[in-house]
Chains A and B, each alone.
Chain A
């Protein structure tokens, strides 16, 4: 049992704990933080899995996950705070195709 598999098991256990917090979480902020941490742990798991299967290209995917996770957390936080992703604006641009 090498270093990477023990790291993977530790990350999986932490993910379980974070999931419990996400489901129990008394406030919505607990849930957002849990979702964000779950994303970070997923990123770590992807990176560790890449080294486990001896394919370090997986680091690219982990990087993408980190970037998208950041944007997702901002979007959810903004939605919770303002009840809207983009507050209504005065001009009349319906989005357009």
Chain B
């Protein structure tokens, strides 16, 4: 933890919640403006990376333990594929969003939002995992 740099600590404490909020904005506003699941996931993960940079990887690991990032990686993909298979059970093709609701337009809207949420979850988990893995590798190299 950077104990001597109080400006950085205070500024990042102030900045982390808006970054996460902005990630959610990019996530759910993606069908009207620039954005989408991947970008939102990266922005969400960058909040965790900022936290890990300032407050140390140990504290970041307490917030995002291995089981959580692992779960995020799998759950997003499961959500994506699950919607696809679910529409097949409803009588459409794979990822045929029109089946999700009586009104095809509303169904497509709902479908793309769920899919993008899955993408965002997986990407956020992957980005956090990549950062923490690099840290773990450095630590393993230092040990030898």
B56 within 8 A of A: yes
Q: Which of B45-53, B78-86, B91-99, B104-112 contacts A (4 or more CB under 8 A)?
A: B45-53
Interface of chain B residues 10 through 35 with chain A (CB within 8 A): 12, 15, 19, 22, 25-26, 29, 33-35
Inter-chain contact B15/A70, CB cutoff 8 Å: yes
Do B135 and A85 touch across chains, with their CB atoms under 8 A apart?
yes
B136 touching A71, Cβ below 8 Å: no
Q: CB of B139 within 8 A of chain A?
A: yes
Q: Are B135 and A86 neighbours in the complex by a CB distance under 8 Å?
A: yes
* Cα–Cα, bound, A63→B18 (Å): 11
* B123 interfacial by beta-carbon distance below 8 Å: no
Closest beta carbon of chain B to A38's beta carbon, Å? 19
- Does A91 interact with chain B (Cβ within 8 Å)? yes
A97 touching B133 by the CB < 8 A rule? yes
CA distance A84 to B111 in the complex (A): 43
What band does the interface of chain B fall in when counting residues whose beta carbon is under 8 Å from A? 35 or more
A88 at interface, CB cutoff 8 A = yes
Known contacts being A67-B15, A86-B56, A88-B142, is A93 close to B61, with CB within 8 Å? yes
List residues of B (94-144) whose CB comes within 8 Å of A's CBs.
129, 132-140, 142
Q: Which residues of B contact A67 (CB under 8 A)?
A: 15, 19, 22, 43, 46
Q: What total count of A-B pairs have CB within 8 Å?
A: 83
Complex: A13 Cα to B129 Cα, angstroms? 40
Q: Are A64 and B26 in contact (CB under 8 A)?
A: yes
Is the C-beta of B90 less than 8 angstroms from some C-beta in chain A? no
Q: Name A49-97 residues within 8 Å CB distance of B.
A: 57-58, 60-61, 63-64, 67-68, 70-71, 74-75, 78, 84-89, 91, 93-97
Cross-chain contact B139 with A89 (CB below 8 angstroms):
yes
Which B residues lie at the A interface, using CB under 8 A? 2, 8, 12, 15, 19, 22, 25-26, 29, 33-35, 39, 43, 46, 49-50, 52-54, 56-58, 61, 66, 69-70, 73, 129, 132-140, 142
18 A-B pairs in the complex with CB atoms less than 8 angstroms apart: A64-B26, A67-B19, A67-B22, A70-B15, A70-B50, A71-B49, A71-B50, A71-B53, A85-B53, A85-B138, A86-B135, A88-B139, A93-B136, A95-B132, A96-B66, A96-B69, A96-B129, A97-B133
